[in-house]
Amino acid sequence: MKSNYPKLKVFLWFSLCPFFAGIIFISVAELWAFFKYGDPAVFHKPGWEGGLWRYVVFGIFGFIFYSIPSTILAVLYVYFRLYTSIKNYILVFILGGGVAHFWTCMFVMLMYPKRSSIFFPNSSSLLDPHYFQFFLLGAVSSLLISFFTLPEKEKKEKKEKKEKKQPKNREIS
């Protein structure tokens, strides 16, 4: 039986997830600066100080830095053929955030084993609250992508699964 699962669509969108996480990161930072300090959004400043390029740069940086784990997750999502359901949304949320969190911790600990406290004060473990922002970025961007990317299960596939679960009644003659 041929499956209508959109493998390429799911793979590409989840592979691009870090790009959107970078855009979310700079957007939240700008909103924070605007509401806390009254500083207008960088997008409205002229020249190299602001503009659309800053969003693109943060998106590209996010993609470059997190492309390996996001591609691995995209392959897993295609392999397991995730469809729209609360269970799959929760799975994508936790995996996206957890992998982003782990990847960031691993990078900081490998690059700065003795000096990681310079970048994250009092950081001695993976449970440091300073890493939580990376969990949120990965989790929220993965969840948003899953809302628009994961397909609905077709009715035929649902019926076939129900029929397989129910034993067939055979008459004994």
| pLDDT tens string 135-170 | 999 999 999 999 999 999 876 656 666 666 666 666
Domains of the chain by residue range: 7-165
Burial of 6: CB neighbours in 10 Å, binned 0-12, 13-18, 19+: middle
CA pair distance 89, 108, nearest whole angstrom: 29
The DSSP letter of residue 39 is P
Q: Are 19 and 63 in contact (CB under 8 A)?
A: yes
CA pair distance 163, 147, nearest whole angstrom: 29
Place of tokens 């990965």: 138
CA distances from residue 115 to 103, 131, 162 in whole angstroms, order as listed: 18, 16, 57
User: What does the pLDDT read at residue 26?
Assistant: 85
CA pair distance 7, 12, nearest whole angstrom: 9
Residue 138, token pair as written in the block: 């990965």
In the chain, where does DSSP find H-type helix?
A: 7-15, 17-37, 52-79, 86-111, 116-119, 132-149, 155-165
User: What does the pLDDT read at residue 40?
Assistant: 67
Cα–Cα nearest to 149, from 14, 19, 3, 59: 14
pTM listed for this prediction: 0.76
SS3 7: helix
In tens, the pLDDT along 61-106 reads 999 999 999 999 999 999 999 999 999 999 999 999 999 998 988 8
